[in-house]
Amino acid sequence: MKLTDVLETTKIEPHCGMCKIDFLGTGVCPAGKKHGFVAYWPEGRMELARALAENEVQPTPALIDIVNSCNLCGICDRQCNFITQRRPTHVEHALNDYVKTLKPNTMKPAPEDDVVKDLRAIVGNDWATNDPIIITSYVRSIIKQKSTGKFYIVMPKSTEEIVAIVQLAEKYKIPYLPRGNGTFFGVVLQTLLAEPACIEQGIIIDLYRMKDISIDPEAMTATVGPGVTSFELQTAAHAHNLRANVAEAESHVCSNAQNLGIITTWSNTYGWGTDNFIDAEMIDPTGAIMHLSDKEIPNPYASEQGLLSLSLIPTVIVTQLTLKLHQILEDEEAIFVPFANLPDALDFAHNLARRNIGISLAVISSKYLTEFISPTHEVAEGFNYIAKKYLKLNYIVDVICDKYDKKIIESLAEVSFDKTMIKSLILGSSKIASMKDSSLLKMISEEDNPLKAVFGGPLRKHFEKGLAASPKELVKVFDEDLREFFEKLYSKPEMTDAVWLHSFRILPSRMERKHMWMYRGGYMPGDKKTILKVVDALEKPAEQYHIEGAFGFLSYLERGKLAHLEYDYYYDHTDPDARKRVNKAIVESWRRQFAIKGVTPLEFICSKGLHRKEHILYPFPAGLSKDELGHFEELIETLFGSEDTW
């Protein structure tokens, strides 16, 4: 197999980083776990294969070591197939065949320089490198493609080692940038925001090895190092029957907290930003260690607003975070309330938010619902088609609540899905997707309220029965050699338990299995009028530049006083024209969002996650005047050049 045979697969590799966590109970890639550097993980091998196929890097002896370290155990195929339908072992076969064509004596190791020698003196020989092959595996997930800078990768094990690395960077006058799992970079680096987000040369501090985690069940807190992922923290918390408010499974807790403040569907109850934290240990650019709890430091919460407050690079490295954990109630259950249109869904959800009903509460689109719960993108598209066209199921008010709140919601909702129906939708997703030509569904779609017709009466039982939902049926969409594994997997209760899935968040990466996406949206007042204005401000640019745009999810804060909205632009990041269009749509969405009072676009939250929301979101931004929007245009041109160069 040639590298070019797998080029299409490797080019669209989204760098989701899910291969680094044991989310299916298979264990993780043994080579990655042993060596740490991204190059040894499936996602890194894919990036290497792409770069070699496109002649962006020349092989060094490290390539032989990386290829030989893979024992083709197949763990990555199960993990990656579950999320993105890819087969990393195919890429490994191609790399194996490629390596056989090389003459080892023609390859030269990267020459050592003083910086790498000094880095090795700090972390040990195995954990610092300037080898271009290893560096290449970080391309598109912290380094821009075709970057010409000189880079080093270092993997510290302790806060003291990071201090020494920061001081070394200062000594050599070179930049440094910490890297968690690279998922934020994986998305942003495909857009015009790449330049302000990436490192153009210098030291990449890969925090993977710093996995210390401790739970204090009495205080209900967790203290984590910067290498701990959301999934790992949630697993540790659940062992004590506690829940952490965490981002997507693969994200590193410390970096996500610092970068985005941890945005979840649980925010109406658990809050955002510092609502979740007890303390943080940080290293500043001089190498000084400080804590949020220190008395003699500048106000850590002070924050700027406005266009010049944008910063995608944090000023400090968070090396430890102590978070609040929350009790899990014994009667928690998921309930979904379907809606044909967004205003109705917002009314319903806001009413619950104001009354503090539900622990996790969100409005999600049918796009999210179907993409997350369907085993393949094709099934998701088919399911979404049925949902929208026949069932008029466009939005879901998605609630995790106790038995008391469940009764209230059921009494308020015309139609709702309980845990049994949710399980049927998950296991029956491929069956639903296959019903495009169903004459019964066509007939139902002509009803005034198809949702009520299907789910609100006696037809519901027949619908559920007709789905014949079972793991055995569902896994027919997977490759034949993986079906037995997936049948066992989908037989596990958690795989169809919406409460578990909302806590562990292993499904969101599925949204990038077909194409790349770009997060739009941000924070705003929780009233329906503002939210609909913002949705329109995000929808219009997508239409204007022919980008697929879709509402993602909306969650509330402070009993519905504030809301967070995620709206996504989906595009093919390997297509230069699509990238240009998405860049134009991003800028246009800023223009439109900035004109709305009270709206803080997501980018302007970046790097402020450790702040109090009160310092960032208040006072509500007034909405830019015409003159100010003119200056905004000038700023954009100064930062990114003229539109035709994007």
Partner 1 sequence: MVKYLSEEWATQAKKKVLEELDMKKDLKNMNASLLNVVQNVPPDQKTVYFYIRFVDGKLEELLTGSDESIKGKNAEFTFTGDYTTFMQISSGQTSSAMALLKNRVKMTGNKMKALTITKPIDTFNACIAKLQTEY
- Residue closer to partner 1, measured from CB, 210 or 310: 310
Q: Report which DSSP code applies to 139.
A: B
| Interface with partner 1, residue 297, by CB under 8 A | no
Q: State how far the Cα of 523 lies from the Cα of 429, in Å rounded to an integer.
A: 32
Q: Which of 244-261 are b and which e, b meaning 16 or more Cβ less than 10 Å from the residue's Cβ?
A: bbbbbbbbbbbbbbbbbb
Is residue 304 part of the contact set for partner 1 (CB under 8 A)? yes
Candidate ranges 141-149, 304-312, 317-325, 344-352; the one touching partner 1 (CB under 8 A): 304-312
Report in angstroms how near the CB of residue 632 gets to partner 1 at its nearest.
Answer: 8
Contact call for residues 89 and 81 (beta carbons, < 8 A): no
Binding mask 193-212 for partner 1 (x = CB under 8 A): --xx----------------
The angle that helices 88-100 and 42-53 make with each other, rounded to 10 degrees, is 50
Tokens, residue 561: 């006083």
3-state secondary structure (DSSP) of residue 19: helix
Q: Which of 193, 208, 290, 307 is nearest to 254 (CA)?
A: 208
Query: Is residue 638 near partner 1 by the rule CB under 8 A?
Result: yes
Kindly report whether the peptide bond that precedes residue 14 is cis, defined as omega within 30 degrees of 0: no
Asked whether the beta carbons of 573 and 190 are under 8 A apart, the reply is yes
Q: Which stretch binds partner 1 (CB under 8 A): 132-140, 301-309, 335-343, 614-622?
A: 301-309
* Cβ proximity of 89 and 1 under 8 Å: no
Q: Which residue from 25, 27, 217, 306 is in contact with partner 1, where contact means CB under 8 A? A: 306
> Which CB, 494 or 633, lies closer to partner 1?
633
Fill in the per-residue mask, 136 to 175: x = in contact with partner 1 (CB under 8 A), - = not in contact.
-------------------------------------x-x
Among 217, 407, 631, 645, binds partner 1 (CB under 8 A): 631
Provide the minimum distance between the beta carbon of 172 and partner 1 in the complex, in angstroms, as a whole number.
10
Residue choice 313, 329, 408, 482 for contact with partner 1 (CB under 8 A): 313
Binding segment toward partner 1, per CB under 8 A, in 156-164, 306-314, 385-393, 484-492? 306-314
User: Most distant CA pair in the chain: distance in Å?
Assistant: 75
Q: Which stretch binds partner 1 (CB under 8 A): 397-405, 459-467, 589-597, 625-633?
A: 625-633
Of 586, 563, 565, 587, the closest CA to residue 516 belongs to: 586
Pairing mode of beta strands 242-244, 562-571:
unpaired
| 365 contacts 395 by C-beta, under 8 angstroms | yes
Task: State the CB neighbour count (10 A cutoff) for residue 96.
Answer: 15
Cβ nearer to partner 1, comparing 481 with 637:
637
Task: Please count the helices (runs of H) and the strands (runs of E) in the chain.
Answer: 30, 17
Residue of 389, 628, 643, 646 interacting with partner 1 (CB under 8 A): 628
Query: ∠ at Cα 470 (366, 419), nearest 5°?
Result: 55
288 counts as binding partner 1 under rule CB under 8 A? no
Of 106, 111, 286, 308, which lies in the binding site for partner 1, with binding defined by CB under 8 A?
308
Using CB under 8 A, which of the segments 98-106, 159-167, 467-475, 637-645 binds partner 1? 637-645
Read off the tokens for 89. 């072992």
How far is the C-alpha of 267 from the C-alpha of 641, rounded, in Å?
Answer: 38
Q: Which of 309, 438, 445, 574 lies at the binding interface for partner 1 (CB under 8 A)?
A: 309
Among 218, 437, 634, 644, the residue binding partner 1 under the rule CB under 8 A is 634
Among 125, 214, 315, 351, contact with partner 1 (rule: CB under 8 A): 315
Name the minimum Å distance from CB 321 to partner 1.
20
Q: How many residues bind partner 1 (CB under 8 A)?
A: 23
Confirm or reject binding of residue 632 to partner 1 (CB under 8 A). Answer: yes
Cβ atoms of residues 20 and 104 within 8 Å: no
Kindly state whether residue 58 participates in binding partner 1, applying the rule CB under 8 A.
Answer: no
Cβ contact 562:556 at 8 Å: yes
Distance CA 425, CA 254 (A): 34
Binding mask 508-547 for partner 1 (x = CB under 8 A): ----------------------------------------
Select 439 or 638, whichever has its Cβ closest to partner 1: 638
**Interacting residues with partner 1 (CB under 8 A):** 173, 175, 195-196, 304, 306-315, 628, 631-632, 634-635, 637-639
